[in-house]
Amino acid sequence: MPHSVDAAFLALPYEKLAAHALETATHQGARYADFRFERLKGQDIHLRNTSIEQLSNSDTVGYAVRLVYNKAWGFAAGYELTTAAVERTVTEAVAVAKQLAALGADPVELAPEPVHKGTYVSAYEVNPFEVPDADKVTFLTSINQAVLASKQATYADFSLSQVLENKFFASTEGTRTTQQRVRVHGNFNAVRVDPKTGTFDSMRSLAAPVGRGWEYMTKGYDFMAAAQEIPGLLEEKMAAKSVEAGRYDLVIDPTNLWLTIHESIGHATEFDRVLGYEANYAGTSFATLDKLGKLQYGSPFMHVTGDRVAEHGLSTIGWDDEGVAGQQWDLIKDGVLVGYQLNRQMALKLGLKRSNGCAFADSPGNVPIQRMANVSLQPAADDTTTQELISRVERGIYIMGDNSWSIDMQRYNFQFTGQRFYEIKNGKIVGQLKDVAYQATTTDFWNSMEAVGGRNTYVLGGAFNCGKGQPGQVAPVSHGCPSALFRSINVLNTAQEGTA
């Protein structure tokens, strides 16, 4: 049964404050204004073995006013829920716009968007904030106990993050929307210390962050099965042979490939990076405007979409923070770069009639910036399995789980590691490897992709807190993908000095 918006949020005076803010902004000369009211509830729990190291709660309520005055942006935020405070916030936003206009900022023009009125609640069964803390701790403790019971793991830790996000948005264009999103991320890590040598290693579970509720923890991902399996896998990994550096065919599991998509496609197709907005912080993009419609980003059957509508996607919304409705579009089609991620101002710069809805602010105190949609590699139309992809490999490696990574400031040269590595010989897995990292340029890597798995291999992975911007903001984003086969990829040995 669909959930309704949290009653505590509905009781807050956001409609009254919004009406006053927009009226004040218009009276002070703004030609456009929007008002965003938010409540963000968060909880983080961390257990080391069976002891609670952290159980923290946060609850933030506030609002933001964004407006266009004299063709320049103005922005200000507040937390005092009175009309007098809102009026001061609007006046401050107008003052900011005046200063920016005097500095010669680019004139603000926004792509049109239909007027929207409605309510959106994300897809979940159990609101994690309605589950008693004691029940959560009991569940997490049981998983750590199962890890430790194996005697193959020396330590176990479990981290759980949960967010309940409520937003009300209103603009002078007439849009009025209310939203509620729930998301969770839980994962445990097993650590083994070899009693003879003193060496150690670790292995994480493969649970993804999701736009779901507490039900994901208890029945969406089988944490208990993972807790019983991982200590043995970790012991095998520590005893496994170190990889020999060289060229290998790779079969990459969705639990690893999502991060490569995030770094080499997701960030590279953000249009603000293309325009140079992130040059001072996390880099620009090699996928520049002159390459749109021309760049052979990957192999001809590579199809990557951006969306804000996938069920349980972390970036899934009803409307973005500019009032643009969620939608899906192509970023890479037949291996060719065909689109970018945009907000309303950037859509006009690209000559488009509408934004694809990628504006997001992580709190009421921050201005919306262009943030990542759910960026996903589409599966094959047939039922190709991961095992069938492995069967095509004579000498290769099957990679599962994400770990460390490195990528340059244009999202072009990269290196990724993983959680588990399995040697493939003559189409069969013959045992684990360790010390593996794969390295390539973005276009070489994606053009080497020979096949993707079918829908049966498709998994929605993602990041709970992707960082961007100055001042920094975090955003949740999902990446769906199937297993995929890549030919002749350079593999490094991370244990050899100077190779990683």
pLDDT band for 33, please (50, 70, 90 cuts).
very high
| Model confidence, pTM | 0.96
Q: Among 3.40.50.720, 3.30.2290.10, 3.90.1150.10, 3.40.50.2000, what is the CATH number of 7-239?
A: 3.30.2290.10
Residue 2 pLDDT = 75
Strands 200-204, 459-468: pairing is unpaired
Instruction: State the pLDDT confidence band at 498, using cuts at 50, 70 and 90.
Output: low
CB 139 within 8 A of CB 186: no
Could you tell me if 343 and 355 are in contact, meaning their C-beta atoms sit under 8 angstroms apart? yes
Task: Reply yes or no on whether the pLDDT at 499 is more than 50.
Answer: no
Please list the alpha-helical segments (H only) found in 48-156: 83-102, 133-149
Question: At residue 342, what is the residue type?
Answer: L
How far apart CA 372 and CA 196 sit, in angstroms, is: 47
Residue spans per domain, the chain = 7-239, 242-493
- Rounded distance between C-alpha atoms, residue 421 and residue 401, angstroms: 9
Smallest Cα–Cα separation from 271: which of 368, 343, 337, 361?
A: 343
The CA distance from 54 to 144, in Å, is: 15
Q: Quick one: pLDDT band at residue 104, thresholds 50, 70, 90? A: confident
| Buried b / exposed e along 356-374 (16+ C-beta atoms within 10 A) | bbbbbbbebbbbbbbbbbb
Q: Which residues contact 212 (CB under 8 A, 6 or more apart)?
A: 123, 124, 125, 182, 183, 184, 220, 312
Average pLDDT, the chain: 96
Does residue 451 carry a pLDDT above 70?
A: yes
Tell me: the pLDDT tens digits for 366-410? 999 999 999 999 999 999 999 999 999 999 999 999 999 999 999
Question: Residue 445: what pLDDT?
Answer: 98
> pLDDT per residue over 151-176, tens digit each?
999 999 999 999 999 999 999 999 99
Residue-level pLDDT at 278: 86
pLDDT tier for residue 500 given thresholds of 50, 70 and 90: very low
Q: What's the pLDDT at 381?
A: 94
**How far apart are the C-alpha atoms of 310 and 327, rounded to whole Å?**
9
Q: How confident is the model at residue 497 (pLDDT cuts 50, 70, 90)?
A: low
Cα dist from 411 to 264, 331, 334, 359, whole Å: 5, 16, 21, 21
Residue 425 phi, psi dihedral angles, 5° rounding: -130, 125
Task: Say what the pLDDT of residue 1 is.
Answer: 62
User: Average pLDDT in the 119-125 region?
Assistant: 97
Separation between Cα atoms, residue 415 and residue 409, nearest integer Å: 13
Mean pLDDT of 78-99: 97
Helix (H, G, I), strand (E, B) or coil at 352: coil
Average pLDDT over residues 5-33: 97
Q: What is the pLDDT of residue 168?
A: 98
pLDDT of 106 above 90 = no
Helix H or strand E encompassing 240 = none
